[in-house]
């Protein structure tokens, strides 16, 4: 009987020691200073840093591809040329409490140079797109949002042609910086969702949209280019719009980003202005990428010059395949 009692007290004592060692932190003296918790545990000091909330997410991507062909006494024919295409994408997203603010800037530029042509250097890619959206949360995925969409280009654009009977090529200016520029402001309901795998989707429909076409070049505005009245710089419109933004991981190393903007003037409901931008990014390693970029534009107020016949409305399509350097930051 005495042995059993001794064994019982030994077990109880051991249990108390284990519990005491586990609860030392709980029994230690604590002090809170500027959000940091300081715990005195014997002769040791344990500092527990308060978690700092992160409201901003910022980053971007830079890509560059270069191609050069040099021919000397080449019997198969051809022409030496140099081509460059580069792009910069930046984003800054803010989220706090019930407020969001997402901004994105895309700048692309490319040119091709053939020394044997009269106009050796010619643009192949040139666009500037800025999107900014502010919203207040209504439910988990629905927001009341206002979005600003601004688009233009950086350098002059030309149409190249050879006049009848001439042996020399000529060119005519058809666009320039802020000629045209499109600024669209819309307010409406925004469905916005971010998934665990970092896929994102955002759709905003607005019955209250203002769209402004700006032409600052004198020769183009006097000709009434891009739908402005001859001699005027700005063409205002009111209508409805639908915009979407998609960022999806298709495969492990393949990501697809796309932006779609549709606008219809109240005076001609159903006649859509379409702007669609798509980028498929295939990463080979940390720095080498292949990008497939597609831009589709349709605007019934824009008449495209033709090689034969008068200018007419047409779908504008640009497709680029780039292999080169891509850096995420």
pLDDT tens-digit profile of 218-232? 999 999 999 999 999
Query: How would residue 310 be classed by pLDDT, with cut points 50, 70 and 90?
Result: confident
Res. 235: pLDDT tops 80: yes
According to CATH, what is the number of the domain 54-328? 2.40.230
pLDDT at 34 over 70: no
pLDDT at 28: 47
Cis peptide bond upstream of 287, omega within 30: no
Q: Which of 33-47, 48-62, 209-223, 261-275 has the lowest mean pLDDT?
A: 33-47
Q: Is 223 left (phi over 0), alpha (psi -120 to 50) or beta?
A: alpha
Average pLDDT of the residues of the chain: 88
CA dist 137 to 14, 141, 185, Å? 55, 8, 19
- 2 by DSSP, 3-state: which? helix
Domain positions in the chain are 21-52, 54-328
pLDDT exceeds cutoff 60 at 72? yes
Residues 80-134: pLDDT tens digits? 999 999 999 999 999 999 999 999 999 999 999 998 899 999 999 999 999 999 9
Least confident of 43-47, 157-161, 201-205, 303-307: 43-47
What would you measure as the largest C-alpha separation in the chain, in angstroms? 125
| Residues comprising the chain, all counted | 329
Tell the residue number behind the tokens 């900014």, with chain if given: 132
């Amino acid at each position: 009987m005495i042995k059993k009692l001794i064994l019982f007290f030994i077990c109880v004592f051991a249990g108390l020691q284990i519990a005491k060692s586990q609860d030392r932190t709980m029994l230690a003296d604590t002090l809170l200073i500027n959000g940091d918790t300081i715990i005195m545990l014997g002769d040791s000091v344990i500092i527990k840093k308060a978690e700092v909330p992160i409201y901003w997410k910022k980053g971007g991507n830079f890509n560059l591809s270069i191609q050069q062909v040099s021919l000397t006494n080449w019997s198969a024919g051809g022409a030496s040329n140099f081509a460059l295409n580069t792009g910069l994408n930046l984003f800054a997203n803010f989220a706090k409490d019930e407020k969001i603010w997402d901004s994105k800037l895309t700048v692309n530029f490319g040119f091709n140079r053939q020394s044997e042509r009269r106009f050796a250097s010619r643009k192949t890619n040139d666009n500037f797109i800025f999107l900014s959206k502010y919203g207040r949360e209504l439910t988990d995925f629905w927001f009341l949002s206002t979005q600003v969409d601004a688009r233009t280009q950086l350098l002059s654009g030309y149409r190249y042609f050879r006049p009848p009977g001439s042996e020399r090529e000529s060119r005519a200016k058809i666009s320039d910086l802020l000629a045209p520029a499109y600024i669209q402001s819309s307010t409406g309901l925004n469905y916005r969702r971010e998934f665990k795998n970092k896929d994102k989707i955002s759709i905003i429909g607005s019955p209250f949209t203002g769209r402004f076409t700006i032409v600052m070049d004198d020769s183009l505005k006097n000709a009434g280019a891009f739908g402005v009245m001859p001699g005027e710089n700005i063409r205002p419109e009111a209508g409805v719009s639908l915009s979407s933004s998609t960022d999806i991981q298709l495969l492990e190393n393949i990501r697809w980003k796309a932006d779609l903007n549709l606008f219809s003037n109240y005076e001609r409901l159903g006649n859509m202005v379409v702007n669609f931008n798509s980028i498929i990014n295939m990463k080979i390693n940390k720095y080498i990428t292949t990008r497939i970029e597609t831009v589709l534009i349709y605007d019934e107020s824009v008449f495209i010059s033709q090689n034969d016949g008068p200018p007419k409305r047409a779908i504008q399509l640009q497709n680029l395949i780039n292999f080169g350097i891509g850096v995420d930051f």
